[in-house]
Structure 1
Amino acid sequence: MRIIRNATELDTDDIKKIYECALYGIEGIVERYFKFEEYVEFCLKHKFSYVAIDDDVVCGVLLAYEVPDLMFGKILYIELLAVFPEYQKRGIGTELLNILRMDAGNAGYQEITLRTCCYMNAYEFYKKYGFKDTKTDRRYMSFMLK
């Protein structure tokens, strides 16, 4: 049974493992980022961070936070969306985005943004979900909630 819930500080070690495996495939790379725990803590304070649990394993994470925007007043920025490779293509990333989308809409946000690279698999995933390019270099994407 799959559960999506708000992430807590107790999830930091699991978030670290997902980050390392899903984005780099190298265990221990986060040790080079001496402020990783602060990075996670910052995102958790904004209440738009989630973990996915499948087969009793924390296998996915989404960290997002509010940023001010002159046009929309406030938007959410996805800092990290990652799923363990062996759990990918099971709908977990989509479920994490769906929860964020619902919570953001209920909280009055107008837009969700992120940064990715057009040559990465994630770019196609976001595009299929409905994110649109916002820059000519196709690194910044946004999803309008209203």
Structure 2
Amino acid sequence: MKNLLKASEELFFDILIIALVSFLYFNYMYINKLTLILGLVFSFIYLGVNFYIGYKYKLKFIESLIVGIIGSGMGIFFIFFSLYSEFILNIPNFANWIVIPYFIPTMSIIKLFSIEINYLYAVILMFLNIFLVVIGSILKNIMNKSSL
């Protein structure tokens, strides 16, 4: 249990720090090809930290799911209010604006591949983050079993 809480705390705050730094980067830098390519570093770190946390800690499948969900807590928080503003308040532009801090580390991928931005992208990204934590922990368990 202690390992589970430590891993989820580390993942949550790593994602939070990456999101804050990339938010500042993409809001204060002029967007051109060079800044988008440099912004890919944020995308790789953002996605890689999920895999790394799953790989670093020896977690079972359910534990890695819990770590991924807690690590995506910021996304769950933003998605909840985004869905509220989309379906209850009927303000779709505000719904997109709410989830931007969660998926801004992947802004380079969005701009380079012309992905349509809406609240569903944040949901897909949240599931991808959870999936990467699970894959990292499964790979760690496979590597531990093969080294015996």
Name the TM-score, length of structure 2 as normaliser. 0.27
Q: Which has the higher strand share?
A: 1
> Of the two, which has the highest radius of gyration?
2
Q: Which has the higher helix share?
A: 2
The higher-RCO structure (CA 8 Å, 6+ apart) is: 2
Name the TM-score, length of structure 1 as normaliser. 0.27
